[in-house]
Amino acid sequence: MSKLTHLDGDGNARMVEVGHKESTTRQAIAEGFIQLSEEAYQAVKNGEVPKGDVLRIAQIAGIQAAKKTSDLIPLCHPLQITGTKVLLSLETGNRIRAWARVRCMGQTGVEMEALTAVSGALLCVYDMLKAMDKAMAIGPVVLLEKTGGKSGDWSRT
């Protein structure tokens, strides 16, 4: 296991110093799912959710979530994101898939931003459908790949 970089030598929390690192193009892709009841799934599919277009509103929520990651995760650096794409799709088995790609030119990666984008989108779906389905289940939410930076590229597959 690698050294825990968010702790100093005395065990105190710290934001990692990245000022010495070279700025490189970085990208992260994440995905996650939410399981719905048949009723809720059909309402989304047929555009019959009283609060509006669930997939489009959740898409915007995901983009906003990516931009707010450092406000939500205490030791994340605020990043100058250069691009965010969030997609939601209806999947078999009454599931909705959220997918996010986040890019930046910076000194630290955007994995947390991609994961936060997916999580924010899925939480928005939950919020919009909770009146008709309180048993929805979110997960898994996973990092699919990341590129750039000193540690190099990584892919789940």
Indicate the number of domains in the chain: 1
Active site residues per annotation:
127
Does residue 15 lie within any of the structural domains? no
6 is a domain residue: no
Per-residue model confidence as pLDDT tens digits over 67-103: 999 999 988 888 999 999 999 999 999 999 999 999 9
Asked if 134 and 33 count as a contact pair (C-beta separation under 8 A), the reply is no
- Alpha carbons 42 and 25: distance in angstroms, whole number: 40
Q: Return the SS3 of 14.
A: coil
Tell whether 153 is covered by a domain: no
CA distance 70 to 67: 8
Q: What is the pTM of this model?
A: 0.90
Rounded distance between C-alpha atoms, residue 157 and residue 151, angstroms: 17
Q: How many CB atoms lie within 10 A of CB 151?
A: 9
pLDDT tens for 105-133 read 988 889 999 999 999 999 999 999 999 99
Residue 98 forms part of a structural domain: yes
